[in-house]
Amino acid sequence: MLIFSTDVGASEALYARTLGLRLSDRIIGGPVFMNSGPGDHHVFGFVPATHPGLHHSSWMVSDIDQIARGAQDMASVGYAKGWGLGRHTLGSNLFHYIQDPWGSWIEYSSDMDCITENWQANDWDCPEAIWSPQVPADFITNQEEKPA
């Protein structure tokens, strides 16, 4: 899951201190990815924004076929706006996103990198994906209503 945060650094520190999450990697000026120890490259993260909100929830499936079938099933019931198929740069996972009725995203994902206890986090200047269709213009837009 990635959430929008007005202060990514403070959010990262809070989740590290209270939940024990650890930094996996950062995209400079973009998302911060955190892990819960050896295993998946990231299980949680933050996206810089003007107000809080949900960017996306991610659902791990077993393979590329389940990603494609999930996207096809969602499109067949009216949820065709998405981004994918692609492979992320950080985490190296295959993905396909579908936009939900509230403007957030749901990600089908598979083949995530695994990290070890000795993982060294890094700050990266890289694109969101190694390969994919063009990113939707509103992919990093917080669609949730800004609190008064």
What does the pLDDT look like over 70-108, one tens digit per residue? 999 999 999 999 999 999 999 999 999 999 999 999 999
The pLDDT of 120-127, averaged and rounded, is: 96
What does the pLDDT look like over 23-54, one tens digit per residue? 999 999 999 999 999 999 999 999 999 999 99
Task: Specify the long-range contacts of residues 136-143, CB closer than 8 Å, at least 24 apart.
Answer: 136/81, 136/82, 136/83, 136/99, 138/103, 139/83, 139/97, 139/105, 140/30, 140/47, 140/55, 141/103, 142/4, 142/49, 142/50, 142/51, 142/53, 142/55, 143/53, 143/102, 143/103, 143/104
pLDDT at residue number 99 = 97
Please tell me the pTM assigned to this model: 0.94
